[in-house]
Chain A
Amino acid sequence: EAGVTQFPSHSVIEKGQTVTLRCDPISGHDNLYWYRRVMGKEIKFLLHFVKESKQDESGMPNNRFLAERTGGTYSTLKVQPAELEDSGVYFCASSPGQVLGPASWAQYFGPGTRLLVL
């Protein structure tokens, strides 16, 4: 079974540019999450999709960040325009939906996209 994949693995852009990160969850997982780790700080939750709907976007830092999950499959996270403080590692995770018990607890993480804004 393929795991969570993220693209690109690294991205270096200049301040003011736009970057789009992509996440492909494990096939069949209804839940998709975005997290990020800014240098030297904790991993912070950004938002949670259930299928194509945003269940919780309380962690989105501001309106420069736009997340979508069209069709309930892969998701994109666009940063426009990027600022220096957006640099960090962006993680995507997925988990099964509608499964009760321990199987629904685990979130499966992707390798992350390392974003550097210069």
Chain B
Amino acid sequence: AQTVTQSQPEMSVQEAETVTLSCTYDTSESDYYLFWYKQPPSRQMILVIRQEAYKQQNATENRFSVNFQKAAKSFSLKISDSQLGDAAMYFCAYRFKAAGNKLTFGGGTRVLVKP
């Protein structure tokens, strides 16, 4: 079974600084997708960024970027120039392409942004 591990329950970052969230996963498959979702307090989960496993280039969405290391099965998220609105729970998720659409999530990392 595939598993996703987020080893940092909570991370704190100063406004305008950079924070990196770690995510590792365990799979024997080669064709899959990886995602980072953000859930602000009392709000719904939204997709932040996604990565296809066959693409070597790391995905980037504005201030959010990933460091995808396929051999190491690592998929970290970097938030640059942190803003107060970035405070949220961040979930790493995996989707095995041939197993339908279901997502396997990590336990989440809470990000606190200090003004």
Which residues of A are at the interface with B, using a C-beta cutoff of 8 A? 3-4, 31, 33, 35, 41-45, 48, 55-56, 58-59, 91, 95, 102, 105-112
Contact between chains at A56 and B107 (CB < 8 Å): no
Contact between chains at A111 and B44 (CB < 8 Å): yes
Q: List residues of chain A with CB within 8 A of the CB of B107.
A: 41-42
How many angstroms from the CA of A33 to the CA of B45 in the assembled complex?
Answer: 14
Q: List residues of chain B with CB within 8 A of the CB of A95.
A: 101
Which 5 residue pairs are nearest across A and B when measured between Cβ atoms? A109-B45, A43-B105, A45-B102, A111-B44, A42-B107
B16 within 8 A of A: no
Tell me the number of A-to-B contacts counted with CB atoms below 8 Å.
52
Contact between chains at B105 and A107 (CB < 8 Å): no
Among B35, B43, B100, find the residue whose CB has the most chain A CB atoms closer than 10 A: B100
How many angstroms from the CA of A5 to the CA of B70 in the assembled complex?
Answer: 36
Which residues of B are at the interface with A, using a C-beta cutoff of 8 A? 4, 33, 35, 37, 42-47, 50, 91, 95, 100-108
Can you list 22 A-B contacts (CB < 8 A)?
A3-B44, A4-B44, A35-B103, A42-B106, A42-B108, A43-B103, A45-B102, A45-B104, A56-B100, A95-B101, A105-B33, A105-B50, A105-B95, A106-B47, A106-B50, A107-B47, A107-B101, A107-B103, A108-B47, A109-B44, A109-B46, A111-B42
Contact of A33 among B42, B47, B102 (CB under 8 A): B102
> A41-B107, A43-B105 given as contacts; is B100 within 8 A of A55 (CB)?
yes
- Complex: chain A residue closest to B3, CB-CB: A42
Contact between chains at A56 and B102 (CB < 8 Å): yes
Contact between chains at B100 and A42 (CB < 8 Å): no
How many angstroms from the CA of A105 to the CA of B37 in the assembled complex?
Answer: 13
Q: List residues of chain B with CB within 8 A of the CB of A33.
A: 101-103
How many angstroms from the CA of A33 to the CA of B50 in the assembled complex?
Answer: 19
Give the shortest distance, in Å, between B43 (CB) and chain A (any CB): 7
Contact between chains at B101 and A42 (CB < 8 Å): no
How many angstroms from the CA of A111 to the CA of B105 in the assembled complex?
Answer: 17
